[in-house]
Chain A
């Protein structure tokens, strides 16, 4: 059992969401072996098939080495120094309503402004809040249940819907996919499961807030969203983290499956602790996100606003299998201070008449380092596939860098590909124009940068777009001058 994290970790107000919560955690000691994998599975009371699934992944992981191709630097990660399980203490059967949730937890959510309260929920947002590793509060289950929508934690899904889990878990991101996805499969703590039945339009936007809390516990979330034929769902993921001293590994896996005519919209605002001015203590964010457009005319869009983390390694991708399937990727990534990001997307065109759009806006300030890495592959069967890629970089100051690394593989002659890339700086003319109208330099920068990101923000649900703009302004404070 760990105690409250030291208060001296909290350095002033440098990081707005940088506070920790006093919550008793049930934490495994650091280290990873088969016993730990079994212990995680046991603590969650998982059926045999899950334990075996985890062990298979763990054994495969032992044969793998960490990837080194991304343009990021960090000291080697000691995987034996990480604790792989931490769950907030709670009443035997878990909370049935907010009244049963640990008040300290609720207070944390209040501070973060997470819309868990009734009024916010009434505004149409159902929240499945993830604290540390276990889901602790869920609202609006009933409304969703009436529509036949399943929205619950993965742990719960393992018990309640084992057939769906068996069928879909790991079907988009197999454990063999990459080092971090494999680790996740072995030790994932919890996450979200969403199932939209055939023909159902999910009656509200689904939203999960992540928060990394107990010291030194890697966060291994797993999200699985299945949209049956003709269904629609919009899912929002947002996160902030308490400030702390040690690097924290985050290796999440997100799998999306869209069947015939189904549409999944997945939006992320990521604001994890980026480390202090020297780059110490930030989150390492190594995420595998992939959507599988399995059905004809299915559509998956990823929209992301990435402002946090010390290191981001993330390529939300689409497998466009069904004919006429559509994949979209809209991204704003900010690196400042010593932040490093290697991010982009993969659009794998497999079926005929598949289309994809990539709009990537990279903003680099301070000594930020950013690489856009994108792959567009047009397979042999992908007749008339189309892709449009637009990659814009904005540099603030002269110590930051931005690179664009597009990979294009075309195996069908009818492919239609467009690629545009620009790199620009905020011009003195623009800054002066704004200032001559009475705006401070900081407001001017934030306005120009938000303008630069407009096409991406337009893709976000309204409330999220407002938050994203605010976040961007906050994160660029002091970037110029």
Chain B
């Protein structure tokens, strides 16, 4: 599904990803943890095609395509989804209109029929229920004036609607209250399927209590320095990063 090898990326003169390897198979959930500034969001951005990063080495292929050669919208149309760490506000852009345009643009690129207003509204109501979101959100502008938690829930709601093949959730748990964390996790779990893979970026074990990962990776200074099963996250929770970064530094 996704295969990243030796990926290097700079912002300006600063090298942030420094030879990163990651392989994700269909239906797998991978958690990526790592201290602040280690490059987690950078990885998410580079994979989804954000401008401002210079890829200086390595490869990334997704569904057999050279991911790095594609425009951001082409990646989305191919089934890549990024739930933003900081969702962006679009003042005046109606949420329903935005979602419908996004969905239809993706459907069109896949050669599917565009959804008409009626079927779209039916679909959207269904997805709202899964995330316990109020439909007043639909009438508002995208993320504008949403609370931090609402923004994060809205990201997962978009994911539910767009049904990606690979979703990257960048700290979706931050800013969520205890109940919202449960609701969002249930939403994410409902979307788990043998065809859909996920990368879950988080700092905390508590999200992984809900969304059980198949693999856990530690990203440190632009590289994955340790990979393991879900028990790795528990160990990190107990010992902190020093435990492996020291070890990593020693190695």
- Which A residues form the contact surface with B (CB < 8 A)? 427-430, 432-441, 443, 447-448, 450-455
Contacts and interface: CB of A to CB of B under 8 A. Distances in A.
B101 A435 contact: no
Given A437-B76, A452-B91, 13 more contacts: A432-B50, A432-B88, A433-B87, A433-B90, A436-B49, A436-B73, A436-B81, A437-B102, A438-B103, A439-B73, A441-B73, A450-B93, A453-B92
B243 interface: no
Contacts of B92: 450-455
Given A439-B101, A440-B105, A432 B90 contact: no
30 contacts: A428-B51, A429-B88, A430-B88, A433-B88, A435-B49, A435-B71, A435-B76, A436-B48, A436-B50, A436-B72, A436-B75, A436-B82, A436-B84, A437-B76, A437-B162, A438-B102, A438-B103, A438-B105, A439-B73, A441-B71, A443-B101, A447-B93, A447-B97, A447-B101, A451-B92, A451-B141, A452-B91, A452-B92, A453-B92, A454-B91
Nearest to B143: A433
A430 B49 CA distance: 14
Which 3 A-B pairs have CB atoms at the shortest separation, nearest pair first? A451-B92, A454-B92, A451-B93
B162 A438 contact: yes
B97 to A, nearest CB: 8
Contact of A443 (B51, B52, B88, B105): B105
B73 A440 contact: yes
Contact of B90 (A434, A436, A438, A441): A434
Contact of B84 (A433, A438, A448): A433
Given A432-B50, A432-B72, A443-B101, A437 B90 contact: no
Contacts of B158: 437
Nearest to A435: B72
A454 B91 CA distance: 9
A245 to B, nearest CB: 38
Interface string B73-107: 10111000110100110111110011001110110
Interface in B99-147: 101-103, 105-106, 109, 141
B76 A438 contact: yes
Contact of A438 (B87, B91, B94, B109): B109
Given A437-B162, A438-B77, A448 B93 contact: yes
Interface of B: 48-52, 71-73, 75-77, 81-82, 84, 87-88, 90-94, 97-98, 101-103, 105-106, 109, 141, 158, 162
B94 to A, nearest CB: 8
Contacts of B51: 428, 432
A454 B90 CA distance: 12
A433 B170 CA distance: 14
B232 to A, nearest CB: 29
A466 B83 CA distance: 31
Contacts of A455: 92
Contacts of A453: 92
Contacts of A443: 101, 105
A181 to B, nearest CB: 35
Given A428-B52, A432-B50, A447-B98, A439 B90 contact: no
A384 to B, nearest CB: 32
B90 A430 contact: yes
Most central of B76, B97, B103 by chain A CB within 10 Å: B76
Contacts of B141: 451, 454
A428 B50 CA distance: 9
A450 B81 CA distance: 25
Contact of B106 (A438, A448, A450): A438
Nearest to A444: B73
A265 to B, nearest CB: 22
Given A429-B88, A433-B90, A439 B102 contact: yes
Nearest to A453: B92
B105 A436 contact: no
A439 B88 CA distance: 15
A434 B72 CA distance: 9
A443 B77 CA distance: 14
Nearest to A446: B101
A452 B93 CA distance: 8
A377 B109 CA distance: 54
A236 to B, nearest CB: 23
Nearest to A424: B91
Contacts of B88: 427, 429-430, 432-433
A71 to B, nearest CB: 28
Contacts of A439: 73, 101-102, 105
Contacts of A441: 71, 73
B6 to A, nearest CB: 24
A302 to B, nearest CB: 21
A447 B73 contact: no
